[in-house]
């Protein structure tokens, strides 16, 4: 992956509250693990989505092995699992791989207005 978009986050158990829950813009949270093939396929798709929604949403990658408390709080049982948080509340969720266009269409209704 080339340079990461400025709205890509890698929160931990310690930083999730501040980086994601308290975010001023909606955040797509991807729960993943390096040993999960569908997760590895989804990550570049989500990175590309992040580039398209700069200023309107963040994309956060949460490694379930490194941040077990956050994964447990969300009740993660299968990965990849995606959640959209808006003002600290879960407004949508999906499990499994989706191509970039599907992710963008799924995320679109939750995006902040341009220049919000």
* From 28, 39, 76, 111, the catalytic residue: 39
Q: Is 36 a catalytic residue?
A: yes
| Gap between the Cα atoms of 65 and 67, Å rounded | 6
Show the DSSP H helices in 1-116 as ranges.
Answer: 16, 37-52, 68-73, 100-107
Cα separation of 26 and 56, whole Å? 7
Which of these is catalytic: 28, 29, 36, 84?
A: 36
Residues labelled as active-site residues? 36, 39
């Amino acid at each position: 992956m080339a340079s990461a978009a400025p709205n890509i986050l890698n929160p931990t158990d310690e930083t999730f509250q501040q980086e994601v829950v308290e975010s001023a813009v909606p955040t797509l949270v991807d729960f993943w693990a390096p040993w999960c093939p569908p997760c590895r396929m989804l990550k570049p798709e989500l990175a590309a989505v992040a580039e398209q929604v700069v200023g309107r949403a963040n994309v956060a990658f949460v490694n379930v092995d490194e941040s077990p408390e956050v994964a447990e709080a969300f009740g993660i049982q299968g990965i990849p699992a995606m959640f959209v948080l808006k003002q600290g509340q879960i407004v949508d969720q999906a499990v499994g791989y989706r191509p970039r266009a599907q992710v963008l269409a799924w995320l679109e209704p939750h995006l902040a207005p341009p220049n919000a």
